[in-house]
Amino acid sequence: MALNLSSRAARTACAASKIAARPIATVIPSRTYATSPEENQHDKPRWSYTPSQAKAPFSLHLHSKRPAFHVNSDPVLLDRFYIRLFGNGGDQVLSEETKWLAVTHKSFDQGRRGYNDRLAFLGKRIVQLQASLALAQNVPAAAQGTSPAEKDEFGRVPFTHAALDGLNNLSSETKKVLTERAKLAELAEKYDLQKVVRWSPKRPDDLRASGIELVLANTLYAVIGAVSLEKGGLVANQIARERILDPLGIKSVS
């Protein structure tokens, strides 16, 4: 029995020495991968190209009869739009990448260069809030069309205050009429937004049927959202009042 135990211990010690002699890790020789020209051009702006990793191996519209739709790629033309919207120096308000992102719809390039949905969500809330504040402060407009209150049979008098006189203006229907999609799209066209918005219409020969009004309205909201993120809420509120609500006829009281 003692002989068997000693031989087993010897085999165990021999196996342990072999394991210890093995290298813990091996060095894998480095591989070189071919890179596309786009990946080598690190100085190329992100908005100007589609990442090679996001491209399909073949085009799904190879034999499409759909007419081509021109999308702006000229930074000078884009800067002119921001100057019309913000005024002198408007092309310096946002960073270069954000300026392009704010005017990019998710239909453009299959959304592979980024799109402005989240910016539009934020900008719409800012515009709607400023519209509510302007309507609440517009006391003369609130007084129009109001009927005198009937006398209460118990002689009760409702509480009144000058700060509450404009609350009758606050309704979803009032804001919907004043900030409806068609009016925002018409205002966006006055700023020449349709010349720089990046999108891919379903019917390039009929932009209205493709939903250009919705695209322009959301893009206008996205610009306000972009200003809020980069310049803060005070600047975004001021631009929303002066450049969107005032032209729509919603005057705020300073």
Radius of gyration of the chain (CA): 32
Average pLDDT of span 12-25: 54
The least confident of 1-15, 30-44, 88-102, 155-169 is 30-44
pLDDT computed for residue 18 by the predictor:
55
Sort 224 into a burial class: Cβ within 10 Å, 0-12 / 13-18 / 19+. buried
pLDDT computed for residue 234 by the predictor:
96
CA distances from 234 to 36, 58, 165, 174, 229 (A): 44, 47, 26, 25, 11
pLDDT computed for residue 167 by the predictor:
64
Q: Within 13 Å of residue 217, how many CA atoms lie on the same side as its CB? A: 18
pLDDT computed for residue 30 by the predictor:
44
More reliable by pLDDT, 2 or 165: 165
The least confident of 10-24, 26-40, 119-133, 227-241 is 26-40
Residue closest to 250 by CA, chosen among 185, 176, 190, 182: 176
Instruction: Name the average pLDDT for the chain.
Output: 79
